[in-house]
Chain A
Amino acid sequence: MPTTARRRPPRGRRPALGPYLLVAPAVLGMLYLLLYPFGRALLISLQDFRLRELIRGHAEFVGLRNYQTLLGDPRFWEVVRRTFLFMAVNVLAIMILSTLVALMIERLGRTGRAVVLSSLVLVWAVPVVAATTVFQWLFHSEFGIVNETLTDLGLTSFEGHTWFADGGSAFTILVVLVVWQSVPFAAITLYSALTTVPAELYESARLDGAGAARVFRSVTFPLVRPIFMLVVSLEVIWTFKAFVQIWVMTRGGPGDATTILPVYAVQTALASQRYDLGSAASMVTVLLMSGVLVLYFRQLFRQEGEHL
């Protein structure tokens, strides 16, 4: 539903207090439930806050010591590197696959389109924990269908392969899971963007003798670019803070092989009871992600700024 016309709120008599009363619950909610916890997290990251302080209170301020500890830890940098790797691999796979799927849906007939869209929506609706559990079952070392199929295909080395004991393969399964869960949203969004491209543009491009790849590069992509960039930013953010899949499936293991920043923060805070270091890790995560946010907002305001 594109809002082409610029909607001005009606002028004239209006209660001066009305709008503020209407937004007050939302503002209070966000202040208390988002901003205040965020402030607390920031404070904790500047304090010496362990189990003792959690129980007794009276935490001492230590300045940036937690950040120094964190940034001086080679394991932390390993986690940061892995977070970016995880994000890059996921986002790349998600964007390539969902663009292909979106282009495919556009070319399908009515029935085929309905079938593909419905199955995408179905995947989208499977709760994360349920999907994660299912993937554990699919990749079960003895009774999993994946090992069975690979063995049947002649890859006998996969017989009884323990996917979750090996860092590389645990990482791979998590990527497959996240991609499987993320493609539906991205593909449906990109498809709905594609439907807004006027058909005449394609026809004139084809009359000019452009091939499919050329049409995509010169006609389709520039027009869906804003939505494409938006989806990229969202996927970057979502994969950056992927937590549930990893926590439920591997808890970051084996070893550290699937530990990315959010998992690291929770491990540090709740397992080692270093709430201060955990908060500092969360703050660094937020900082790194706000780099992405800046891109997102620039994109958003280019599109939406006039409607606000």
Chain B
Amino acid sequence: MTTTRGPAPRRALRGLPLRLAAALTVTLCLFPVYWMVTSAFRPSRDLQSYEPRLIPDAWTFDHFRTAVQADGFALFWRNSVLVTLGAVLLSLVVALGAAYAVARLRWRGRRAFMLAVFIAQMAPWESLVIPVYIISRDTGMLDRLPTLTLVYFMITLPFTVVVLRGFLAGIPPELEEAAQVDGCTRVGAFRRIAFPLLAPGLMATSLFGFITAWNEFTFANFLIIKQQDNRTLPVWLSSFQTTFGTDWGATMAASTLFALPALVVFLALQRHVTSGLTAGGVKG
């Protein structure tokens, strides 16, 4: 790339590699997703062809029917939704209190608390599978959905505290102080002034929590063993291939149905997410 500004045609030509690079990036990003979705709609003969077509010549809903009618699909879907929502709500409520205390109040141990949260954010929670398994077993919590809710709460809490603190720190406390001068209580001032401004932060963090919990495989796989009815979608999906032999169409349909909520929610809120992550997750 040269630095001199040439006449318009040359500049357009100079833009070409850039556009090619952009097109390549988009293609590489989207192709696996495209292939997943179209495979789910391809008739089986097309899937098992040695000359796969880029655009299916026929479309079918058969694979989705197979996936949805597969044993326990609705049940595992419900389990995933319950566990995910539970974990997200729990961690939002708990983190909001902690974030408020750190961003707005002065107390001894504030710095130590934030340090602990930062360390916890980086905790290699996968290495806790064995002790969590043993603790759950000893407390009779093995094979139960609330156990997963608690584990996902643990995984998302530190991140949520860090990001919400970042957002709260960005809202001038003077606004709440003014409301307090006008006769609001501390809680009232927070609820009326800071809470609405916190909306993007709450959205970004709940989305992160949603994706994390919706996705989580390791704990779901090793903590739900005997009660197969309590499995969640990621585990079900990973066992789908063995259950159905080589039904790739159904597997891709199941993957699409599993990814769909995350994709839709993420795309709808992507601006909040990207700005939220840079405001809270990375810078503090």
Residues of A within 8 A of B (CB): 1-3, 7-11, 14, 18-23, 25-27, 29-30, 33-34, 36-41, 44, 54, 100-101, 104, 107-108, 112, 115-138, 140, 142-143, 145, 148, 180, 184, 188-189, 192-193, 206, 209-212, 227, 230-231, 237, 241, 243-244, 247-248, 262, 265-266, 269-270, 275, 278-279, 282-283, 285-286, 289, 293, 296-297, 300, 303-304, 307-308
Contact = CB atoms under 8 A, between A and B. Distances in A.
B25 A286 contact: no
B25 A116 contact: yes
Interface of B: 1-3, 18-19, 21-22, 25-26, 28-30, 32-33, 35-36, 39, 47-52, 93-95, 97-98, 100-107, 110-111, 113-114, 116-120, 122-132, 134-135, 150-151, 153-154, 157-158, 161, 166-167, 169-170, 172-173, 176-177, 211, 214-215, 217-218, 221-222, 234, 237-238, 240-241, 248, 251-252, 255-256, 258-259, 262-263, 265-267, 270, 273-275, 277-279, 282-284
B154 A34 contact: yes
Nearest to A265: B127
Closest 7 CB pairs of A and B: A125-B266, A282-B127, A33-B154, A40-B131, A1-B279, A22-B101, A26-B98
Given A125-B267, A133-B241, A227-B282, 5 more contacts: A7-B173, A22-B98, A34-B154, A41-B127, A211-B3
Given A148-B50, A289-B124, A119 B25 contact: yes
B127 A304 contact: no
Contacts of B26: 115-116, 119
A124 B170 contact: no
Contacts of B101: 18-20, 22-23
A245 B49 CA distance: 27
Contacts of B279: 1-2
Contact of B29 (A27, A100, A184): A184
Contact of A192 (B154, B222, B258, B274): B274
Contact of A189 (B28, B29, B153, B278): B278
Contact of A119 (B29, B51, B127, B282): B29
Contacts, number: 296
Contact of A279 (B2, B19, B130): B130
Contacts of B50: 142-143, 148
10 contacts: A9-B106, A18-B101, A25-B97, A33-B154, A100-B21, A116-B22, A125-B265, A192-B275, A269-B129, A303-B284
Contact of A1 (B52, B131, B167, B267): B167
B30 A34 contact: no
A137 B18 contact: no
Contact of B267 (A27, A121, A136, A300): A121
Contact of A134 (B116, B221, B255): B255
A130 B52 CA distance: 21
Contact of A33 (B116, B122, B150): B150
B263 A122 contact: yes
B215 A129 contact: yes
A138 B35 contact: yes
A145 B169 contact: no
B22 A133 contact: no
B109 to A, nearest CB: 8
Contacts of A131: 32
A44 B127 CA distance: 12
Contacts of A129: 215, 217, 234, 237-238, 255, 258
A156 to B, nearest CB: 13
B222 to A, nearest CB: 7
Contacts of A122: 29-30, 33, 263, 266-267
Contact of B33 (A26, A38, A123): A123
Contact of B22 (A27, A44, A108, A241): A108
Nearest to B222: A270
A41 B131 contact: yes
A137 B39 contact: yes
A19 to B, nearest CB: 4
Given A22-B98, A145-B52, A308 B274 contact: no
A23 B154 contact: no
A26 B127 contact: no
Nearest to A184: B29
B111 to A, nearest CB: 5
A308 to B, nearest CB: 5
A50 to B, nearest CB: 12
Contacts of B237: 129-130, 133
Contact of A303 (B103, B117, B283): B283
A101 B126 contact: no
A285 B122 CA distance: 13
Contact of A10 (B19, B125, B173): B173
B118 A206 contact: no
Contact of B275 (A1, A140, A142, A283): A1
A108 B18 contact: yes
